Structure 1
Amino acid sequence: MKKLVFALLAGVILLTACSSGGTKGSLTSSGDEGTPNSKEITVWAWDPAFNIAAMGVAKEAYSRVHSDVMINIVENAQADIVQKLNTVLNSGSTKGLPNIVLIEDYRAQSFLQAYPNSFYELTDAVKVENFADYKIDPTSVDGKQYGVPFDSGVTGMYVRTDYLEQAGYSLADMEEIDWKQYIEIGKAVIEKTGKSMLTLDPNDLGLIRMMMQSAGQWYTAEDGKTPIIADNAALKEAIELYKEMLDSGIAKVISDWSQFVSAFNHGEVASVPTGNWITPSIKAEASQSQKWAVAPLPKLAVTKGSVHASSLGGSSWYVMNVEGKEAAAEFLIKTFASDAELYQSLNTKIGVIGTLKAAASGEAYSAADEYFQGQKIVSDFAKWTAKIPTVNYGMNTYAIEDIIVVALQAYFGGKDVDTVLKDAQMQADTQIS
C-alpha cells in the first residue's frame, strides 16, 4: 500500500466479456504426490518493502522443503501490473504472463469477470472459512474461489496521545466514538495545540471508502455493477463529513503520499485514520516512540449499521491459467493459504497482518509493541478484521471514483449535496454498465 488512485485501462476491462468460469485445479496437499510438471514459478507483485518482501519470506520457507522448485519474484509497479495483464489478456495470448500475480482487492473482480478463463480455480484447495469473511467476495465469482486472500486492509485510528492530553482528552475518549465526535475533538486539538487533526487529499477517496464500508455499503449495489450514488446514505454522510472536516479547519490539506507521511512524521497531525499498513511508516520516526496509540475507527453517526471496523486496500494472490499452474497453486496452498506460522514471521519481519484466521492466535499477533506504549496493536487489528462488513467492490470502483472526485469539487464549491449526487448518478449510469 500504497496510494490507491489508479484507473488504467478501465475501458478495456469493461468492453470484455463478463461471464464466469475458469479452469478448476485438482490439487494435492501431500509431499511428492501429484507433483506438477513445471518446477519454475514466476510471481508478479509490487512494493519491495511489503508484498515483495512477504513473497520472499514465503519463498524461503517453501524452499526449505521443496528445494527443487525455483521461484522468481519480479517487482512491478501496481499500475504496470494492471496494464500488462490487460494488454496480454485482451490479446487472447498467455505469452509473458506470470504463474502468480498479486491483485488489489478493489480491482480483482475486473479481472476475474472480464477474463474468466485466465485464472486457475482454487475452490477445492482454498478453505474460505479459514479467512476473514470480507475477503471472500473480492476473490471469488459465483461461488468459485480463485484468489488466496493475503493481507488485511483493516483500519484503525492512530493517535498522538500527547496532543490529545494537551487538548484535555485521553485515549479512552477516542474509543467508540462517531465521526461527528471526532470532529469536535479535532477542534479542541487545533485550538489547544495548533496541530491539525488529520490530513486530507481531495483526490484520494480512501477516507470515504472507509466510512462507506463501515456501514456495509459501496458505490454499487449488491450485484457489484449497478451504480448507487444518489440514494447512497453512507456515501452522502461520508462526503458531508469530509466537507465539515475541511470547513472546520481541523484538516491539513495535502496532495500526495510523501506529504501524507511527512505530516505525521513531523508531528503536524494528531491522528491518522487509515489502514494498518501505515504502522511501519509511523514507527520510522523513532523520536515519537511512546507518543502514539491506536483506537478503533470512528463510525458514521447517522447511517444505520455502521461499525467501528473497516478496510482500506488489501490484496490477494492469484494463479494464472498457464503452464506451471499446478506448481504455483501448490506453493500458495502450502504457504499463504494455510501456514499460520508463516504469518507470524511475516508480521515480525515486515508488519504484515494476514487474513488467515488461525494466524490471529499466534505469538507475534499477541505481542506488545513498546512504540505504541505497550499496546498489543496487532491483536487489536486482528480483532477488528473479524468485524469488517462484507461489501461487493465490483468492477468499477476506480471508474466511479473518477466521477465522484469531480462531483466533490462542485460540492466543496457550494453546490447542493443532493444535486451533486444526482448529477454523479446520471454520469455513472451513462458511462458504466
Structure 2
Amino acid sequence: MKKILSLLTILAMALTIVACGTKEDSNSDEQKITIWAWDKAFNIAALEEAKASYLKENPDVEIEIVEYAQDDLMQKLNTGLNSGVTEGLPNITLIEDYRIAGILASYPDAIMNLSDIVKYDDFAQYKVANMTVDGKQYGVPFDSGVTAMFYRTDLIEEAGFTVDEIDKGITWDRFIEIGKAVKEKTGVAMLTLDPSDFGLVRTMMQSAGTWYTNEEGKLDLIGNEKLEKILATYNKLMESGIVNQHTDWAQFVGAVNEGKAATVPTGCWFASSISQEESQSGTWRIAPVPKLADVADSTGYSNSGGSSWYVLNKVGNNELAADFLAKTFAGDVDLINTLVEKINLVTTYLPAATAENNTKENAYFSNQKIFELFGEWTEKIPPVKYGMNTYAIEDLLEIEYQKIDTSGISIEEVLKNTDAQAKSQLGIE
C-alpha cells in the first residue's frame, strides 16, 4: 500500500510539473488575452469599448481587462520582467510615455516589435518617437497629452485684455504682465501651481524641443541654454506674485473650480476637471501655451502626460494581442469617435481628427471646437526623447532649484549640481 501511495504521489507531482511547464503553451492555444491599465473612467472605459468593438468580428476571443493603480501596475510589471517569469503577466499593458524608454532599455526582448503591424504614419510623431528604438516601433500610441492654456475670458477681459490677443499666442513674459493686471483688478491669481511638481517645466521644455537628456540618452543639463532660460522664466513666474500654490491634485482641481485661478496651462485631459464646475460654463476658453520670449524656435505647442499600449513578447498569443490593438486603437475611427464623446479622449490617431465628435462645438469652452484644436496642436508638438530617467533627474533638479532661494546659487550652478548628482546617484553620463 505504501508503495502504491508513493507511486501515486510521484505521478501527481509529475503531472503538476508537466502542467506548470506547459501552461504558457496551453494559454497560447486559447483565444484569450489579458490587458492591464489604470483609471476606470478613462483607460478602462476605453478598453471596454474597444473590447465590444473587436468581439463583433471576433466573438470567440476572450478578453480580460484588469484595473490597477498606475504605480501598482508598474511594480507588478517590473517584478515579472525582472524575474523572467511570464506567468501572471498580461498580453497587453498600458505604459506612460515618460516611462517606456526605461522599460525598452532594461528589458530589450520583453516588448513586441509592431513595426510591420501598425501604420505609424497615422499617429502624431512625438508619440511615436518615444517608442522607437533603432528604427523599430514597439507600441500603439493612445491619448494625447497636448497642452493648452485654459483661460477665463471674463477675468481676462475685466483686466483689460482681449480674447483675440490670447488666442493668437503670447509669451511667458507677456503672461506675467497680464497676470499682474488680472491679480490687481480682479484679485484672482493668474494660475495655480504645486512648487514641488515640475510639470510646467516639462511643458516649457517640450515646447522648445529640449529635454533633460539628449537623443542618445546622455545628460543635457550643463550648457543647455534652452533649459537655463526655461528655469529662469519659471523662477520669474514663481516670484511674480501671480501664483496660487497648491500641494496635491484635489487642491489643484479645487482651486480652479473655486475661481482661484484665471488660467491653467496644462494637458488637454484637464478639460474634464474644469468642466465639473457648471457655474463657470461659457467663461472658459483654450489657447496655445505661452512661448519662451528669447528662444527662437520655441512654440506654443507641447505635451504633458499621455500613455500607449504595448504587447508583451513572451506571455503568449502575441499575434492575437497585436491584432486586437491594430483593429481597435490603431485602426477603428468609429471607436475613437465614440471615445471622444464618452471619455473626452484627445486621440493621437490622425485619421480620426475629422470624425464627427472631434469637430463639435463645446458650449462650456465658449463654443470652441476644442477637440479639433487639440488635434491640430497635437501634430505641431516638437518631438523629444524622454529618455530613461525623466522623473529621477527631475527629483534631483527640484531639490537643487530650491537652493536659488535658500542659498542664492545661480541657475547655472543648479544645473551643474544636478548633473553631478545624476552621474553619481543614477549612474548616467
Aligned twin of 1:170: 162
Give the one of 275, 282, 290 matched to 2:267: 275
Q: For residue 328 of structure 1, what is the aligned residue in structure 2?
A: 321
In the TM superposition, what is the alpha-carbon distance from 1:335 to its structure 2 partner? 0.3
Counting only pairs closer than 5 Å after superposition, residues 210-221 of structure 1 correspond to structure 2 as: 210-221=203-214
For each residue in 1:102-128, what CA deviation from the matched residue of structure 2 results, as whole angstroms up to 9, or x when unmatched?
000010011011101111111100111
2:361 aligns to what SS in structure 1?
coil
What is the 5 A alignment of 1:226-241?
226-241=218-233
Amino acid at match of 1:234: K
Q: Is the 8 A contact 1:219 1:229 kept in 2?
A: yes
- Corresponding position of 2:122: 130
Question: Is residue 379 of structure 1 aligned with residue 372 of structure 2?
Answer: yes
**What RMSD over aligned residues (CA atoms) do the two structures have, in Å?**
1.1
Q: Name the residue aligned to 2:244.
A: 252
Find the counterpart in structure 1 of residue 351 from structure 2: 358
Quick check: 1:142 aligned with 2:134? yes
Residues 126 and 337 in structure 1, CA contact (< 8 A), matched pair in contact too: yes
Q: How does 1:406-425 map to 2 (within 5 A)?
A: 406-413=399-406, 414-425=408-419
Q: How many angstroms apart in 1 are the aligned matches of 2:359 and 2:194?
A: 34
Hey, what's the Cα distance between the residues in 1 that align with 2:201 and 2:225?
A: 12
Contact 1:199 1:260 in 2 (8 A): yes
CA contact (8 A) 1:159 1:293 kept: yes
1:119 alignment partner AA = I
> Counterpart of 1:242?
234
Looking at structure 1, the residues matched to 183 and 213 of structure 2 have their Cα atoms a distance apart, in angstroms, of 36
Query: For residues 66 and 385 of structure 1, what CA distance do their matches in structure 2 show?
Result: 32
TM-superposed CA distance for 1:412, in Å, is 3.2
Answer yes or no: is the 8 Å Cα contact 2:397–2:414 preserved in 1: no
Equivalent in 40, 44, 67 of residue 75 of structure 1: 67
Name the CA distance, whole Å, in 1 between partners of 2:224 and 2:145.
23
CA-CA distance at 1:429 after TM superposition? 2.3
CA distance in 1, matches of 2:218, 2:424: 11
Q: Distance in 2 between matches of 1:347 and 1:124?
A: 27
Q: Give the distance between the partners of 1:114 and 1:410, measured in 2 at CA.
A: 33
Q: Secondary structure at the residue paired with 1:370?
A: coil
Q: Does 1:304 align with 2:296?
A: yes
Q: CA deviation at 1:411?
A: 1.8
CA distance in 2, matches of 1:37, 1:148: 24
TM-score normalised by the chain length of structure 1: 0.90
Percent identical among aligned pairs is 51
- Determine the C-alpha separation between the residues in 1 that align with 2:339 and 2:126: 21
The aligned counterpart of 2:393 is 400
SS where residue 63 of structure 2 aligns? strand
Shift of 1:222: 1.4
Amino acid in structure 1 at the alignment position of 2:380: K
2-structure distance, mates of 1:91, 1:202: 38
Answer yes or no: is 1:62 the counterpart of 2:50.
no
SS class of match (1:88): helix
The gaps in structure 2 that reach 5 residues or longer are 1-27
The structure with the largest helix share of the pair is 2
- Say if 2:417 is the partner of 1:429: no
- Note the C-alpha offset of 1:303: 2.1
Q: What is the DSSP-based 3-state SS (H/G/I as helix, E as strand, rest coil) of the residue aligned with 1:73?
A: strand
User: What does 1:146-157 align with in structure 2 at a 5 Å threshold?
Assistant: 146-157=138-149
What is the number of residues matched between the two proteins? 397
In 2, are the aligned partners of 1:230 and 1:424 still within 8 Å (CA)?
Answer: no
